[in-house]
Amino acid sequence: MTRAGFTYTPKRTKDAEKEIAWQAKQEWAGEPLEGAVSVIVTFHVQMPKSWSQKKRNEHSGAFCAKKNGDIDNYMKLVFDALSGICFIDDSQIVEVMAGKVWAQDGKIVLMIEEI
């Protein structure tokens, strides 16, 4: 929110939402869920290219607790992008399990179900 009271979404965030929404449309079969929703999400954060192969092997799959963004911000981005595709509105989400791990390639893995 700006000082003038308007919300501002950076272009990078908008672009990421569009990409996630596009991917979700490719994968999601059917209409958006209408009831209460449970989400399990794992964010696979790409390891820095500067890391040695040894360091990459040691950290692959380990929790990513340093920098690279707050998990709650990642979740908000994903849930906003999935609204209208996987569920009608992200207010339907009543249960969440989330993790952030190091990986060779960045990706988001989701399991969404109506409960």
Q: Structure tokens of 73?
A: 């911000």
Is residue 9's pLDDT more than 90?
Answer: no
For the segment 44-71, the average pLDDT, to the nearest whole number, is 88
pTM for the full model?
0.84
Assess if residue 91 is contained within a domain.
yes
**Number of folded domains in the chain?**
1
Q: Structure tokens of 72?
A: 């709650």
Assess if residue 63 is contained within a domain.
yes
Assess if residue 55 is contained within a domain.
yes
Assess if residue 97 is contained within a domain.
yes
Provide the mean pLDDT of the chain.
Answer: 90
Assess if residue 99 is contained within a domain.
yes
Assess if residue 48 is contained within a domain.
yes
Instruction: For residue range 15-52, list pLDDT tens digits in order.
Output: 889 999 999 999 999 999 999 999 999 999 999 999 99
CATH of the domain at 82: 3.30.1330.70
Provide the domain limits for residue 66: 30-114
Half-sphere exposure of 19 (CA within 13 A, CB side): 9
